[in-house]
Structure 1
């Protein structure tokens, strides 16, 4: 294990470190959620080349393995569902389904090349986001899921539990078979009229906790990403009892700094601090402003159990020197 990887794992463990790590990530495809790398394998080769170039050139402290082109859950019954009853009696995918094997092979190429040097976290979405990405218009997927929950909550819960069981299996397999460090598990509150914390805890949370449980059986080092993006805000408290080592949330979007969030998650290490939009400081600020902000975040949040990053993916055209300015400030 390299000194850099050991540094990151120590920070995740909440141990004192000689330098606070940082990392940022971005998409490699223009339409990461709308394209299908299972049907067009050349797309994942493009993503793989981008990942390799970034890791070899920028040498991030740790890396999120982006899954551009792999957002879709390749289950024909879910893909063809036109009404909630179409989700009844959903069965898991076979272990040798390409949805598993292609992703494991992709992750293994990166883990074999860089896993000894760099901590790698494979991106996995929760079942509600996975369902949304499968819709012809993903922007309407959340509203459709909310409507189906109102119509038949038991059928939706059973279907999401099956989807989550496959996501759990994928999480465990990319760690054990591909050799990644852990998963980067993305969740969001389900928004809509009539949806509240009780609905979320009854229908979505069991599957999400099962995914984290499966990942933890293979690795202690997993990250929960509470995705606040494009105006989508979350109640962080909904995830207080999720069994995961590290939490990343949209500090700028939610208006909850790392320091404030540590009060919600007192037993976790945390990642983030910077906004990720083109209007935010990381993209627009001077070197002096960005480095001052990095030092300010650390001064408030503390020097143990803290890693700097962004709310979510940063723009893919961001100048990498801006990311290096953060790392330089932390030295």
Structure 2
């Protein structure tokens, strides 16, 4: 009988015993045009998903939102000062939402609904910081928006930021609900991080930033049982994981190598919930540059520390697009071999 990968992944997320530990990696299919909402980028994104599926036959799919990083809101576009954030209102960007629902539907259709899928959705603070920098960036400055203006406004008028995030959350809630209920995703892959470089305490974060994130999670949980937290450590961003221990989600993907916290330790920290990751996602990591022996030894090391229940092997964040596909296969082969050894 053919392996039921969808059930394998859902069982792992539910902390049930599995025949082998599932494996999942992902990368951007239009990294040079993350903010470019166009038919061309949609085609590239869909083609990238298809090629990755054909090459690797993944256990599940994180659907990438390339092309939709720019949240359209004219009231944010009008922001010039921190005080202007108090005028931000929900934009109800139906076209932006509908296009992402279409993307999710198309990926699920191509997969014949045989794999679990999770759609990439960013936190309100992430959309806001990117849009502020996007609107004030010099022409040709690229996609690398770090939230500089967001941090300035946060220091100047934190209450204005909180008000704006509450309004933006209304639209992100609609997006999260639609991609699950209408698009057919099993859940959202909800990406956020501590506000880097702002000097924000944990208590301030929970007062100013967390309410907007929890609103989105509650909306997603109302329509889907398999929502995943991604505590983003991209480019070495360090997070206080304890900020999120009470966030209601099925599983947690975090930057194990950046935080220096193993999967087994994280599983305990998050009350026994499923965790995803284990591998460094950079070109300096074993997954990218290691030999077959090195990658499979690392796979075994991770699983011997974490156990095999409620574990999905993956990376800290998106992996380099030129990572040889056989490297992912070697991880899965090692997980399969370990499962057979334990069953013998």
Scaled to the shorter chain, the TM-score interval is over 0.9
Q: Secondary structure at the match of 2:229?
A: strand
Farther-moved stretch of structure 1 (166-175 vs 73-82): 73-82
Farther-moved stretch of structure 1 (79-88 vs 316-325): 79-88
Is this contact kept in 1: 2:228–2:251, CA < 8 A? yes
| Structure 2 partner of 1:311 | 316
Residue 325, structure 1, aligned to residue 330, structure 2? yes
2: CA distance, partners of 1:173 / 1:189: 26
For residues 154-178 of structure 1, the C-alpha deviation after alignment (integer angstroms, 9 at most, x for no partner) is 2211111111221111111100001
| Structure 2 partner of 1:250 | 255
| Structure 1 partner of 2:5 | 4
Please state how far the C-alpha of 1:191 moved relative to its aligned partner: 2.4
| Structure 1 partner of 2:212 | 207
Residue 113, structure 1, aligned to residue 107, structure 2? no
Q: Secondary structure at the match of 1:86?
A: helix
| Structure 2 partner of 1:220 | 225
Is this contact kept in 2: 1:187–1:225, CA < 8 A? yes
Is this contact kept in 2: 1:2–1:116, CA < 8 A? no
Q: Secondary structure at the match of 1:224?
A: strand
Please state how far the C-alpha of 1:232 moved relative to its aligned partner: 1.0
For residues 59-95 of structure 1, the C-alpha deviation after alignment (integer angstroms, 9 at most, x for no partner) is 1001100011111111122133221222223221236
Is this contact kept in 2: 1:2–1:117, CA < 8 A? no
Residue 82, structure 1, aligned to residue 80, structure 2? yes
Residue 66, structure 1, aligned to residue 67, structure 2? no
Please state how far the C-alpha of 1:261 moved relative to its aligned partner: 1.2
| Structure 2 partner of 1:153 | 158
Is this contact kept in 2: 1:115–1:181, CA < 8 A? no
* Structure 1: segments with no counterpart, 5+ residues: none
Q: Secondary structure at the match of 1:22?
A: coil
Q: Secondary structure at the match of 1:101?
A: helix
Residue 128, structure 1, aligned to residue 125, structure 2? yes
The TM-score, its normalising length taken from structure 2, stands at 0.91
| Structure 2 partner of 1:25 | 26
| Structure 1 partner of 2:97 | 100
Is this contact kept in 2: 1:184–1:223, CA < 8 A? yes
| Structure 1 partner of 2:299 | 294
CA separation of 1:148/1:213 partners in 2, compared to 1, >3 Å: closer, same or farther? Answer: same
| Structure 2 partner of 1:45 | 43
| Structure 2 partner of 1:55 | 53
For residues 210-268 of structure 1, the C-alpha deviation after alignment (integer angstroms, 9 at most, x for no partner) is 11111111111011000012121000000000000100000011111111212211231
2: CA distance, partners of 1:32 / 1:66: 12
| Structure 2 partner of 1:36 | 36
| Structure 1 partner of 2:202 | 197
2: CA distance, partners of 1:325 / 1:13: 25
| Structure 2 partner of 1:15 | 16
CA separation of 1:235/1:322 partners in 2, compared to 1, >3 Å: closer, same or farther? Answer: same
* Structure 2: segments with no counterpart, 5+ residues: 138-142, 337-344
Please state how far the C-alpha of 1:304 moved relative to its aligned partner: 0.4
Farther-moved stretch of structure 1 (104-113 vs 275-284): 104-113
RMSD, aligned α-carbons: 1.7
| Structure 2 partner of 1:173 | 178
Q: Secondary structure at the match of 1:230?
A: helix
Is this contact kept in 2: 1:146–1:195, CA < 8 A? no
Please state how far the C-alpha of 1:282 moved relative to its aligned partner: 0.3
2: CA distance, partners of 1:9 / 1:263: 20
Please state how far the C-alpha of 1:311 moved relative to its aligned partner: 0.3
